[in-house]
Amino acid sequence: MKRTVSRMEGISSFLNTRKLAYLLVAPTVVIFAAITLYPLLYSLHLSFFSWNLLRPSLGKVFIGLENYRRIVYDPVFWYSLKTTLYFMGASVALQFLIGLGLALLFNVEFKGRSVARSIILVPLLITPIVIGLMWKWLLNPEFGILNYFLSFVGVSSKSWLGDPSLALFTVIIVDVWHLTPFATLVLLAGLQALPEPLYEAARIDGASWWKMFRYITLPLLKPVILVVLLLRTIGTFATFPEIYALTQGGPGRATEVLGFLVYRTSFKEFHMGYGAALSYVMVVLVLVIALFYIKALPELEV
């Protein structure tokens, strides 16, 4: 009996130690390292090599920082970066502004609000590749429904995805249509979490809707705004399926954002080392922009 009690006390003591916590977390850590950490470290390692899969006889050749030096002098990279920043700025700004407007609208009671909320979330539920294929048919210059309706108001048929001056604008509109519901959903959740007594006190003091929005809603909503801007900025850098389905980076390189440039370099031209270096430069750019948001937004005066 004493031996059993002593054994139970030993088991209980083990359960209360950190060893058990480490033991329970270990499988998750191992899986995370296998599917995330190892590929990240391997791609970093690969960025210091020249490795072209079309010429396997050459193998991997260590070249140090040559891939990164090549990026600095690569006009294709700078053009792709310019396209990415333009796409990011326009897409994130439109998604945030439209999303905030819809969130303010859905935060007010009106007839049919529940139905409207459900409808507005539909684009978010469709996978990006399906979004791209769907819009490619809608924008077809010969039998697309958009050109058909525009013909009724005297607008001639346009090649929305084949014209370099229109292609990037069109991709931005598709991205905004697809992901504005995400911004709306997050901002609406933030609005509904704001304390009502502050608004009641402001109404008693005779504050207008604009003053309440400017001095109560926006300052208290800053953490939620930061989340939306961060996630959507990161998302625009990772935009791939829609562009692949719509334009494949064309016409020419008009819609070739950095994410698509990494794909083309690595998996179409098979320059694996240079593609890995491009991907890490993209990661650094995302981190810089994220740090800018984190630093600037809380200090922003409304």
pLDDT at 8 over 60: no
Same domain, 135 and 279: yes
Same domain, 199 and 252: yes
Same domain, 189 and 254: yes
Rounded Cα distance between 130 and 16, Å, is 50
Q: Is residue 67 part of a domain?
A: no
Residue 237 pLDDT: 85
Same domain, 30 and 118: no
Whole-number average pLDDT of the chain: 85
The residue ranges of DSSP E strands in 113-175, in sequence order, are none
Same domain, 145 and 282: yes
- Tell me the residue type at 64: G
Kindly report, residue by residue over 22-67, the tens digit of the pLDDT: 777 788 888 877 788 888 888 888 989 988 888 877 778 888 899 9
Residue 164 pLDDT: 87
Percent of the chain with pLDDT over 70: 92
Q: Is residue 63 part of a domain?
A: no
The total number of structural domains in the chain stands at 2
Q: Is residue 114 part of a domain?
A: yes
Per the model's pLDDT, the better-predicted residue between 130 and 9 turns out to be 130
pLDDT band at 80 (very low <50, low <70, confident <90, very high): very high
What CATH number is associated with residue 124?
1.10.3720.10
Kindly report, residue by residue over 99-112, the tens digit of the pLDDT: 999 999 998 888 88
Q: Is residue 61 part of a domain?
A: no
Residue 12 pLDDT: 55
Q: Is residue 301 part of a domain?
A: no
Q: Is residue 58 part of a domain?
A: no
pLDDT at 206 over 50: yes
pLDDT at 1 over 90: no
Residue 282 belongs to what H/E stretch? helix 272-296
Per the document, the length of the chain is: 302
pTM of the model: 0.84
Residue 96 pLDDT: 94
Same domain, 151 and 205: yes
Rounded Cα distance between 297 and 285, Å, is 18
Chain-centre distance for alpha carbon 195: 30
The secondary structure of 88-103, three-state, reads HHHHHHHHHHHHHHHH
* Parent domain of 203: 73-296
pLDDT at 227 over 70: yes
Same domain, 32 and 132: no
Kindly report, residue by residue over 242-261, the tens digit of the pLDDT: 899 999 888 888 999 998 99
Same domain, 226 and 80: yes
Same domain, 220 and 257: yes
Same domain, 173 and 279: yes
* 119-133: average pLDDT: 89
Q: Is residue 53 part of a domain?
A: no
Residue 4 pLDDT: 54
Same domain, 154 and 287: yes
- Tell me the residue type at 68: Y
Residue 5 pLDDT: 46
Same domain, 37 and 77: no
Q: Give 278's DSSP letter.
A: H
The pair of structure tokens assigned to 156 is 């001639």
Angle at CA of residue 75, ends 70 and 80, nearest 5°: 105
Q: Is residue 126 part of a domain?
A: yes
